[in-house]
Each structure stands twice: as structure tokens, then as C-alpha cells.
Amino acid sequence: EVQLVESGGGLVQSGGSLRLSCAASGFNFSSYWLSWVRQAPGKGLEWVANIHQDGSEKYYVDSVEGRFTISRDNAKNSLYLQMNSLRAEDTAVYYCGTVGWGGYVGLWGQGSLVTVSS
């Protein structure tokens, strides 16, 4: 089955760290750019970060630059998001996704909730 499954979310205190993982199956993982997109409770979508097929290029939205790190392990078909110096405004459901057609998410995970308490 073609799918992405996130894990690693939870409750963390402000200033703390958390690492999200995204496990892929059923498709050629190493062929895709990958992304993290988040959605604060009751709010819209925000694109957080992108990573090239081989990890050589990474892009971040300004609000997480310097605090979050996107990475991947193609041998393990896995995507990661290391989140440091977390703030209350980082509270959201975090979705991993495959990026196709130059910049759209075609396959989404089910999401992982990160709650940052102040």
C-alpha cells in the first residue's frame, strides 16, 4: 500500500525539542522531493520545509529557519523533522508529503500532533 505514516508527536514544553519521523511504503521514496506542512488547530495550512531527493537542497519557511532541520534516510525510506527551541506557535498537526509537479503535495501522511505548552 502506498502510504506515509508520521510518528513522534506529543506534548513538549516551550524551549524543548522533538523529532518527527515519517515512514514511507509502497513507492519509490528516493525519487521524490519531500515536505513538511503544518496546520495549527482550527487554522489553515503552512508549508514548513522541503528536501531534495538526495538531501542536497533544503528550504525552510522563515518562522522555523535555524530551529528546525529536515532530513531523510533513503535507505530506510524515512523523512525526519528535528524541531528545537519550540514555541507555543509551533503547536500544530504536522503532515509529511511527497512533492510532485514542481511543488505540490500529492501524497500526504495522516498527520502528527505537536503541542507546545508555555
Partner 1 sequence: EIVLTQSPATLSLSPGDRATLSCRASQSVSNYLAWYQQKPGQAPRLLIYDSSNRATGIPARFSGSGSGTDFTLTIGSLEPEDFAVYYCQQRSNWPITFGQGTRLEIK
What is the secondary structure of 22-81 as a DSSP string? EEEESS-GGGSEEEEEEE-TTS-EEEEEEE-TTS--EEE-TTTTTTEEEEEEGGGTEEEE
Q: Which is nearer to partner 1, 9 or 109 (CB)?
A: 109
- For residue 44, state whether it binds partner 1 (rule: CB under 8 A): yes
Q: Within 80-99, which residues bind partner 1 (CB under 8 A)? A: 95
Q: Which is nearer to partner 1, 3 or 13 (CB)?
A: 3
- For residue 21, state whether it binds partner 1 (rule: CB under 8 A): no
- For residue 103, state whether it binds partner 1 (rule: CB under 8 A): yes
- For residue 9, state whether it binds partner 1 (rule: CB under 8 A): no
Q: Which is nearer to partner 1, 46 or 77 (CB)?
A: 46
33 vs 51: CA distance, rounded Å? 6
25 vs 56: CA distance, rounded Å? 22
- For residue 46, state whether it binds partner 1 (rule: CB under 8 A): yes
| Cα-only R_g, the chain | 13
- Name which position in 18, 24, 81, 105 contacts partner 1 (CB under 8 A): 105
Q: What is the distance of C-alpha 61 from the center of its chain? A: 12
Site string for partner 1, 48-77 (x = CB under 8 A): --x--------x-xx---------------
